[in-house]
Structure 1
């Protein structure tokens, strides 16, 4: 599930700004640094130093990967419509797949067995060598691959409430929007549309 959450979190760094536009949480290296630090539990033991801060190259790599992930999310929700945030500028699926796979392959991994004295053994995949630069996009790409190839992908939807640009996992059969506030906006918009005087 952490791969699912991480893949969704990456896609959701593009969001409605509350004023009718789209905001980008990864618009600067500072934004990426804060985003990564807020997700240390999902990123596991990523080989990034504790005082890591993103640079321009890190930002470019993660944003390029996010573009691929959002394009593949748009592909996954078909025949439904993609998020309106980037529906008119999605990269082709083949390019998105190549970008995602290249990022995942940038850091080779090996299985590692951890067995705490008071717990059960746990197998995890860890980078084979310290490679702090591409480690972040590689981890994000692997999370996206696990999500897109896993069972949760079938529940992926694009929210089409007015002004929303999010993807979400449909958790119950009647769910149409990513959150209740989107459902309220959609109902209000439908009400106004029905009662508009010609």
Structure 2
């Protein structure tokens, strides 16, 4: 599903478990692993190399900037604070990458038909185009209204809010947030 692809893509920036931020696309090996598991491995990926990785990382930066805009007035992910691509640049980049998907006219002329028919067919897009189109579909679709940045300490993920009181991307983040509040209350009052 497109939204799972987009959320998985932006969440390749994540909490590393030690108070920092990890990047699953930091090197070609991690990028190759992500491509193999992301569900668009056939999207024009002939060679997973540094040039493709760098291209996709720039696209991720643009999508994260637009996610930060989409969650307003709520806060952006902590990983993005101070590092967001300007929104106009992010929109232009996303549109440029989406336009890379090929479209071709296709002639269909079945044996039983008297006349041929022309149809415009969108081919399999290259990886950047597939990710950009998925991001556009998500940002322009109904799920955007449920998009949130996790507010748990050290978490940098975006998620879709499933119910009215949900504040965190997963239960472990909720536990970490409650523990931090408890620690803060008792340390301040103690």
TM-score by length of 2: 0.86
Write the distance in 1 (CA, Å) between the matches of 2:134 and 2:103: 13
8 Å contact from structure 1 (residues 10, 66) kept in 2: yes
The answer as to 2:13 corresponding to 1:19 is no
Relative to 1, partners in 2 of residues 1:55 and 1:45: Cα closer, same or farther, differing over 3 Å?
Answer: closer
Give 1:102's aligned residue.
96
Taking structure 1 as reference, are residues 56 and 178 closer, same or farther at Cα in structure 2, changes over 3 Å only?
same
CA deviations 1:127-157 (Å, max 9, x no partner) are 3xxx7xxx11010000000000000111000
Is the CA contact (8 Å cut-off) linking 1:29 and 1:53 kept in structure 2? no
Distance 1:64 1:109 in 2: 24
Unaligned runs of 5+ in 1: 113-123
Structure 2: stretches of 5+ with no match in the other structure:
107-120
Equivalent residue, structure 1, for 2:5: 6
Aligned to 2:180: 189
Question: Aligned pair 1:76/2:76, yes or no?
Answer: no
Conserved? CA contact 1:111–1:126, under 8 Å: no
Using a 3 Å threshold, how does the CA distance of structure 1 residues 110 and 79 change in structure 2: closer, same or farther? Answer: farther
Which residue of 28, 43, 65 maps to 1:46?
A: 43
CA distance in 2, matches of 1:149, 1:44: 24
Give the Å deviation of 1:11.
0.3
| Residue aligning to 2:52 | 58
Map 1:118-137 → 2, pairs under 5 A = 125-127=122-124, 135-137=126-128
Q: CA RMSD in A?
A: 1.9
TM-score, normalization: structure 1? 0.83
Q: Aligned to 1:195, what secondary structure does the other structure show?
A: helix
Superposed displacement of residue 29, structure 1: 1.3
